[in-house]
A and B are shown apart, each in its own frame.
Chain A
Amino acid sequence: MNKFVWPLIIFVALVGLLAVGLNLNPREVPSPLIGKPAPAFDLPQLANPEARFTPKEMQGRVWLLNVWASWCVSCREEHPVLIEYAQKGALPPLVGLNYKDKREDGLRWLKRYGDPYLVTAFDADGRVGIDYGVYGVPETYLIDKAGVIRFKQIGPITPEALEKKILPLIKELEK
């Protein structure tokens, strides 16, 4: 009997390890920017090329920066969720970052699917996206009053992610 105990333990440990490994999502790479100040930028607004937006304007508030593009398929999945929660008043100020898009495409997209954003910054060449470590749109950053990134959602925001993680964290940060 003793003979089989160790192989069994090793087998169970290996199965456990593989089970954890298989359930991790390799798309979700932890961002090194969590806990760091949100990179500064100064971009034209999507709707109004003359006006600018910079994260400094949001200092003292908890806010969300949502990276989206009209060519991004998952953004279409995410958008109704953002609109629903914004209409409920559950979201803090939501700023859009229109990433590597054409201005007219971005504007048409907002007209067609609705605009939950306080303002949308227009990042045509994706330089700001690189500073934020964007690699798969949509991505959303939760930034606190001091301008520090506290959470990053990679991929579409789901009601589940909002209820379980993002909204509780926002409540915590707004205290």
Chain B
Amino acid sequence: MKPLMAVLTALALLSGALAKEAVPLAEDPAVEQRMVKITEELRCLVCQNESLAGSQADLAKDLREEVRGLIRAGKSDEEVKEFLVSRYGDFVLYRPQVKPVTYLLWGGPFLLLILGIIALVRYLRRRNRQLPDTPLSAEERARIEALLKDHRP
């Protein structure tokens, strides 16, 4: 009986040791969560239509590691983004900052909408003005009256 117990104990200890080895995947869930939240808003420059969070490019992996490091160092989300923007430019931000260079980018669609409305209003007004005013003749009025009377129950 004793040897069996010893083997079982050893196995139990071993399984504990093995289980521990799987842990480092997400060492710190809080850091990981913030890293994903930040990098989802950032563009991977290697494959430009992917976010830094989702890209499998080597550089994206390095940069995610970099972001983890910055978070662990106690940097704010803004500071982490600033770190990347100062190196790779505004292009990495999926949501560009509102500043003089990007006014047109942010305001452009609204500007186009306003221009479109102005053009539409002007067009409709002009068309209304151009429609000739054609009053009904006495004969036509009489016909309408007759038709309406006809139809009444």
Binding site for B on A (CB under 8 A): 26, 29-33, 100, 125-126, 130-133, 135-136
Q: A100-B58, A130-B62 are in contact. Are A32 and B46 (CB under 8 A)?
A: no
User: Total A-B residue pairs with C-beta atoms closer than 8 Å?
Assistant: 34
Instruction: Pick from A32, A125, A130, A136: contact of B63, CB below 8 A.
Output: A130
Q: Which of B14-22, B87-95, B141-149 contacts A (4 or more CB under 8 A)?
A: B87-95
Instruction: Pick from A32, A130, A132: contact of B89, CB below 8 A.
Output: A32
Chain A residues near B85 (CB-CB < 8 A): 32
B71 at the interface (CB under 8 A from A): no
Chain B residues near A100 (CB-CB < 8 A): 58
Which residue of B is nearest A39, CB measured? B87
The interface on chain B, measured as residues whose beta carbon lies within 8 A of the other chain's beta carbons, has a size of: 15
Q: How far is the CB of A39 from chain B (nearest CB, A)?
A: 9
B32 at the interface (CB under 8 A from A): no
B45 at the interface (CB under 8 A from A): yes
Q: How far is the CB of A20 from chain B (nearest CB, A)?
A: 15
Which residue of B is nearest A6, CB measured? B119
In whole angstroms, how far apart are the Cα atoms of A140 and B54 in the complex? 28
The 30 sampled A-B contact pairs (Cβ below 8 Å) are A26-B48, A29-B45, A29-B88, A29-B89, A29-B91, A30-B89, A30-B91, A31-B89, A32-B85, A32-B86, A32-B87, A32-B88, A32-B90, A33-B87, A100-B58, A125-B62, A130-B62, A130-B63, A130-B66, A130-B87, A131-B87, A132-B87, A133-B87, A133-B88, A133-B89, A135-B45, A135-B46, A135-B88, A136-B45, A136-B46
A135 with B89: CB separation less than 8 A: no
Chain A residues near B88 (CB-CB < 8 A): 29, 32, 133, 135
Q: How far is the CB of B5 from chain A (nearest CB, A)?
A: 49
Main DSSP-derived SS at the B contact region: helix
Chain A residues near B48 (CB-CB < 8 A): 26
B91 with A135: CB separation less than 8 A: no
Q: How far is the CB of A62 from chain B (nearest CB, A)?
A: 23
Chain A residues near B66 (CB-CB < 8 A): 130
Which residue of B is nearest A126, CB measured? B62
In whole angstroms, how far apart are the Cα atoms of A82 and B62 in the complex? 29
Chain B residues near A32 (CB-CB < 8 A): 85-90
What are the 8 closest A-B residue pairs judged by CB atoms, nearest first?
A135-B45, A133-B87, A32-B89, A29-B91, A133-B88, A126-B62, A29-B89, A135-B59
In whole angstroms, how far apart are the Cα atoms of A98 and B87 in the complex? 19
In whole angstroms, how far apart are the Cα atoms of A132 and B59 in the complex? 13
Which residue of A is nearest B63, CB measured? A130
Interface residues of B in 38-82 (CB under 8 A from A): 45-46, 48, 58-59, 62-63, 66
In whole angstroms, how far apart are the Cα atoms of A164 and B87 in the complex? 26
Q: How far is the CB of A94 from chain B (nearest CB, A)?
A: 23
Q: How far is the CB of B153 from chain A (nearest CB, A)?
A: 49
In whole angstroms, how far apart are the Cα atoms of A29 and B58 in the complex? 19
In whole angstroms, how far apart are the Cα atoms of A149 and B37 in the complex? 32
